[in-house]
Amino acid sequence: MEQNSKIYIAGHRGLVGSAILKNLKEKGYTNFVLRTHSKLDLTNQQAVADFFAEEKPEYVFLAAAKVGGIVANNTYRGQFIYENLMIQNNVIHAAYKNNVKKLMFLGSTCIYPREAPQPMPEDSLLTSPLEYTNEPYAIAKIAGIKLCESYNLQYGTNYISVMPTNLYGPNDNFDLEKSHVLPALLRKAHLGKCLEEGNWETLRADLDKNPVEGVNGKASEEQILETLEKYGIRSQKSKVKSQKSNDDLGPSTLDLRPVSIEIWGSGKPMREFLWSEDMADACVFLMENVEFTDIIESQRSKVEQSEIPTLGVGVKGQKSDEDLRPSDIRRSTEIRNTHINIGTGKEVSIKQLAELIKEKVGFKGDLVFNTDKPDGTLRKLTDPSKLHQLGWQHKIEIEDGIEQMYNWYLG
């Protein structure tokens, strides 16, 4: 990419897209074409076709998707598979029709089977059944990988698919009803800290910014405490109405009271987390330095020379590596699993994560693990060795990332 190349980031306001946009700007790129959902509905084929025909972007980051936690994925199964398929199909096909030079499709490590080997290598894709709760979303993302692969092999396009592990960072979703485990725990610890310090001003400001089930900072103390209790944030003061006015409810060591935070499961499951800005750096690195032919040439080199046909020409007329087109290599060996994991290759238990968040936030209360609730998959660790071999490694460790994320959240 050149500094003035025209770049379209689909989903530029989300956790992933906003981090990519920031990284590109920091690296000196200046020519962006951006559209919010209200301006461009990516599930609308004609609208997407018109947009690409008019704007003619040279490079595309496809970070837009319908996403959610386990409850949303399992409840809105039809919406998750339909909307994600439509977004992917429309953008990838429009990119092909309008001669986009390079496209990056972003998926998720939920594409891997429920019983995938740990850590999960790229070639474990489609080897056994998926986790049921997010199967529709995962199938949509697998279809996106295969769409990119198939267009590359048939049409000679240059589309790369990347599968980031669990992400966290600026512009994350802190909605207690829908967020993932790390931002949910961080916000719970923050609200718990406000309760134990009697800091109602900060607590009400938090709820005004991001209401919980429609309850904002203007609600009564009883209503707020009752709502927070539903999400496992409990204080001994629950159901006890304060005699102080709202103006008097400031932070004070005298107001400290026992507060606990409930966490689903035993805390034993292991999870991998990647700082979103590290993910963005990996994406930009790959767009700048790695072509689809680099990936398949790497795969091709692993095949024994005796298994590679002469592509229909004599030895003297055989093509050099530089002359090989994707379609030529397709005939020489099967091309599968060309996507690239983006992760740290490191994991922490949910219990360790909760304790780390508690420390960074300054929450003094108890962490209560509800073993009546499910643990989910015990391990979900990516194998990022392919990415490492291409020349990229993560920089931000989980301890520093949580601290940075909390500082961002406090604003």
Has 137 been annotated as catalytic? yes
pLDDT score, position 178: 76
CA of 154: how far to CAs of 38, 43, 149, 289, 325, in Å?
34, 24, 9, 23, 10
What mean pLDDT comes out for the span 268-297?
A: 95
- Asked if residue 257 belongs to a domain, the reply is yes
**Residue 337, in any domain of the structure:** yes
Q: Are residues 147 and 291 in the same domain?
A: yes
Same domain, 294 and 365: no
- Which member of 8, 96, 112, 137 is catalytic? 137
- Considering the domain architecture, whether residues 159 and 73 belong to the same structural domain is answered as yes
pLDDT (mean) for 252-274: 82
Domain residues for the domain of 364 are 181-269+348-377
Q: Does 53 share its domain with 141?
A: yes
The H or E element containing residue 95 is helix 77-97
Q: Is residue 410 part of a domain?
A: no
> How many structural domains does the chain have?
2
74 and 217, same domain (yes or no): no
Q: Is there a single domain that holds both residue 343 and residue 198? A: no
pLDDT, tens digit, 9 for 90 and up, residues 18-55: 999 999 999 999 999 999 999 999 999 999 999 999 99
Is the predicted pLDDT of residue 309 greater than 50, yes or no?
no
pLDDT band at 407 (very low <50, low <70, confident <90, very high): very high
227 or 256: whose pLDDT is higher? 227
Least confident of 120-124, 292-296, 317-321: 317-321
Asked whether residue 240 carries a pLDDT value surpassing 60, the answer given is no
Long-range contacts at 393-399 (CB < 8 A, ≥ 24 apart)? 394/274, 394/275, 394/278, 394/282, 394/343, 394/344, 395/275, 395/278, 395/281, 396/275, 396/277, 396/278, 397/344, 397/346, 398/273, 398/346, 398/348, 398/353, 398/356, 399/356, 399/360
Residue 144 counted as domain residue: yes
What single letter denotes the amino acid at residue 207?
A: L
- Cα distances (Å, whole numbers) of residue 409 to 199, 206, 228: 17, 10, 19
pLDDT value at residue 302: 62
In a domain, 1, yes or no: no
Least reliable range by pLDDT among 306-310, 324-328, 368-372? 306-310
Report the CATH number that the domain containing residue 158 is assigned in CATH.
3.40.50.720
CA distance 252 to 189: 18
| Same domain as 150, residue 95 | yes
pLDDT average, residue stretch 369-377: 86
Q: For residues 284 and 24, is the Cβ–Cβ distance under 8 A? A: yes
- Rounded Cα distance between 187 and 208, Å, is 14
Please report whether residue 411 resides in a domain. no
Are both 161 and 207 inside the same structural domain? no
13, 50: one domain = yes
Arithmetic mean of pLDDT, 257-286: 94
Give domain status of residue 408, yes or no. Answer: no
Same domain, 227 and 189: yes
- Give the H/E segment covering residue 405: helix 398-410
357 pLDDT above the threshold of 80: yes
Residue 324 is predicted with a pLDDT of: 54
**Percentage helix, strand, coil, to 5, in the chain?**
45, 15, 40
Give yes or no: residues 209 and 300 share one domain: no
Residue 2 domain flag: no
**Statement to judge: residues 191 and 290 lie in one domain:** no
